[in-house]
Amino acid sequence: MRACVRTTRFTSSAIRSGFMTALTVVAVAHASLVAAETPRETAQLIFKRLTGTAIHLDDPRLAQMEQLITSGKKLEAALVPTQDDYFYASTLTRFASVMVERDESPYGTFSDFQAMILGAAMTDMDARELLSGNFSFEDRNNSTRPATSDTTYYTNFASVGPTVFKSRLVRKTPQWGPNSGLAADDANIAGLLTTRAWAQSHMEAGTNRRALEHTFKIFLCAPIESWKSTDINEMRIRRDVDRAPGGNPVTFQTLCRGCHAPMDGMGGAFARYDFVGGRLTWSGPNRIPGKMNNNPDTFPDGYITIDESWINLLADPAHDTGRFGWRGDTSGMGLKSFGQMIANSQEFKRCMTKRVYREVCKRDTGANDTATVQEIADRFETSGYKLRNLFADVAVNSGCLNQ
């Protein structure tokens, strides 16, 4: 038996809005880019990389950017297009869609997950709050807050057009309204991890292991194959995992254990969540959804999930390679503390840098970019984890400008 078995659910990849054409054209626009030589050409290239659109020659922002570049202020010049409507409607929307869509499509339907990332960039908030904050970004013109089952609030908002994002997204607290059943428990609210879109992609049916696995994949750029280990204590592996698949315990020790030991150790963070009937649900403080203790007769002596406690066994000094750079608590109660651990790691800032590089420069970083990624990631942290700064910093990197 393989350690992780999944059922793929395909969702619509079309954004039902007036700016679909603008999103589609981004890849074409970037494909035609060439290295810039003069300050004006550099300004034009930076603008196109960050917005997916060309800047008109008589646009006063072009002269402003050109002057800043001439003065040796490339980063300041790159921050200019991060105020453009299409930086939000095109670049950031695609960037966020890849992170939340189950098939990692850049053309996912606009959602609360994407709105939160756009809002974080727009307000220059600390991006680590995206994995631990109790807030949302909603339409300032709509007095009704979206429900945990709402499929139209954000699509209707986005359909207005590209100018709506920057002008009408506003931060609201708590993340969910008083009638949602989620608002009262701050310890189990964790920003992007408790959005409806994330739950729909990763918490529907199953055992919530997918939500844990994809937290590592999306926010630490770490597919499970890169962090599984058969040396980690199996004390937290649940009862639904056969210890002798096909009658052979070696299969468990060499395959199943490698994924489940670290994954099930942290899985309790998602223990009280489910996505049922198109709705994100939280079980409350005194109940655990049955999915967390599924198939108890497979191995009755396995771990029983009774609360939302979690422990990161990857941080055990005997097994920690230093790859993730854990900082702070590596065990806790509830999804908020788990999100804080992920966001405070060294790998979070590096992963966000790699993801931005892919979106802006239209290529993945490789071994030759390791030092560059670390330098930009360190500046991202120094800036207070501001997403706009990260996008601007990547856009002016010589490896992106000169490719």
Question: What is residue 327's DSSP assignment?
Answer: -
Query: Mean per-residue pLDDT for 203-217?
Result: 97
Q: Does the pLDDT of residue 81 top 60, yes or no?
A: yes
The helix or strand, by DSSP H or E, that contains position 199, with its residue range, turns out to be helix 196-202
Comparing CA positions, the residue from 237, 304, 300, 305 lying closest to residue 269 is 305
pLDDT tens by residue, 168-206: 999 999 999 887 878 667 889 999 999 999 999 999 999
Is residue 42 left, alpha or beta, with left meaning phi > 0 and alpha meaning psi from -120 to 50? alpha
Place of tokens 């223990």: 271
Query: Mean per-residue pLDDT for 343-369?
Result: 97
Question: What pLDDT is recorded for position 35?
Answer: 57
Number of H helices, E strands in the chain: 18, 6
If DSSP codes are grouped into helix, strand and coil, which group holds residue 172?
strand
Q: Does the pLDDT of residue 301 top 70, yes or no?
A: yes
Q: Does the pLDDT of residue 24 top 90, yes or no?
A: no
**Are 236 and 311 contacting, i.e. CB atoms less than 8 angstroms apart?**
yes
Domain ranges of the chain: 86-186, 205-344, 354-401
284-288, 290-294, 348-352, 377-381: range with lowest mean pLDDT: 284-288
Locate 140 and state its tokens.
Answer: 């300032």
pLDDT band at 152 (very low <50, low <70, confident <90, very high): very high
**Are 376 and 366 contacting, i.e. CB atoms less than 8 angstroms apart?**
no
pTM of the model: 0.90
The helix or strand, by DSSP H or E, that contains position 281, with its residue range, turns out to be strand 279-282
Question: What pLDDT is recorded for position 184?
Answer: 64
Q: Does the pLDDT of residue 36 top 80, yes or no?
A: no
Task: Look at 253 and 15; give whichever has higher pLDDT.
Answer: 253
**Are 161 and 308 contacting, i.e. CB atoms less than 8 angstroms apart?**
no
pLDDT band at 402 (very low <50, low <70, confident <90, very high): confident
Question: What pLDDT is recorded for position 104?
Answer: 97
Taking the C-alpha atoms of residue 137 and residue 125, their distance in angstroms, rounded to an integer, is 12
Locate 147 and state its tokens.
Answer: 């429900």
Q: Does the pLDDT of residue 20 top 90, yes or no?
A: no
Q: What percent of the chain has pLDDT over 70?
A: 91
112-126, 167-181, 325-339, 361-375: range with lowest mean pLDDT: 167-181
